[in-house]
Amino acid sequence: MRNKVIAGNWKMNKDVFETADLISGLKSAIKQSKAEVIICPPFTSLVVAQQLLKGSDIKLGAQDVSVHDDGAYTGEISVKMLKSAGCQYVIVGHSERRQYFHETNELINQKAKKVLASGMKPIICVGETLEEREKGIMENVITVQVKGVLVGLSEENLKNAIIAYEPVWAIGTGKNATPQQAEEVHQLIRKLVGQLYSWNVAEGVIIQYGGSVKPENAKELLSQPDIDGALVGGACLKPDSFSAIIAAS
């Protein structure tokens, strides 16, 4: 049985004071969970989050990372910096990074390798746009993305990585992929991993769903056999809604 993993991507929300309030609320709301719970605050809140999460089962993650170790890269954050701030996970290739910052599969692959080499675990994102789905090329898009972001990753790497399927058209739009639509793509991703590696590896890899996950739809989504958790956006910014999604897992 694969464990459920629920990650909250705070995106560009919460200053250090608001971070303290939210973590306090989360620690009160999330008493016990069989699921692994991760929060990914902004870079400026990582150190305070690390301090506040001591003694908690909640894990800390970052929203992005540089492919560079150090040097003249203004505004970038290295794996060493993230690790020293207490991060155990790093999101790479989020659809907003692809859309707004034109990140490619090759760059995302480099970031995933950098995260794995550091001992942290990447949450590697893939997903199609509404235009791509309406054109009927979703399967091709996902196939190219999965193959591109996993180039050069070993079977052992896959044991320490999470894949997140995020249909771009369902992020922050209010539109929802049905559980059946989400499960269909999760099955495709698992099949692709099986073809690239082995079925044993495919059976073990954690594949999260991300795309307007809310307390109202979490239980049905997370009950699908190939959906192993959720990468949550807006609903992770309130203790009650995030804890309800965790409880649904």
CATH number at residue 63: 3.20.20.70
Q: How many other CB atoms sit within 10 Å of the CB of residue 97?
A: 18
- Which H or E run includes 185? helix 179-196
Task: Classify each residue of 213-230 as buried b or exposed e, where b means 16 or more C-beta atoms within 10 Å of its C-beta.
Answer: bbbebbeebbebebbbbb
C-alpha 16/C-alpha 22 separation (Å) is: 10
pLDDT tens per residue, range 138-148? 999 999 999 99
- The confidence score (pLDDT) of residue 169 equals 83
Which pLDDT band, with edges at 50, 70 and 90, does 172 fall under?
A: low
| Residue 28 domain boundaries | 5-248
- The confidence score (pLDDT) of residue 201 equals 96
Percentage of the chain lying above the pLDDT 90 cut? 90
Lowest mean pLDDT among 1-5, 6-10, 173-177, 180-184: 173-177
- Counting the structural domains of the chain, the total is 1
- The confidence score (pLDDT) of residue 166 equals 93
Q: How many other CB atoms sit within 10 Å of the CB of residue 25?
A: 15
Mean pLDDT of the chain: 95
pLDDT tens per residue, range 74-129? 999 999 999 999 999 999 999 999 999 999 999 999 999 999 999 999 999 999 99
Which pLDDT band, with edges at 50, 70 and 90, does 203 fall under?
A: very high
Q: Which residues are catalytic?
A: 94, 166
Would the pTM count as exceeding 0.85? yes
- The confidence score (pLDDT) of residue 173 equals 67
- The confidence score (pLDDT) of residue 155 equals 97
Which pLDDT band, with edges at 50, 70 and 90, does 196 fall under?
A: very high
C-alpha 232/C-alpha 217 separation (Å) is: 12
pLDDT of residue 229 exceeding 70, the answer is yes
Which pLDDT band, with edges at 50, 70 and 90, does 211 fall under?
A: confident
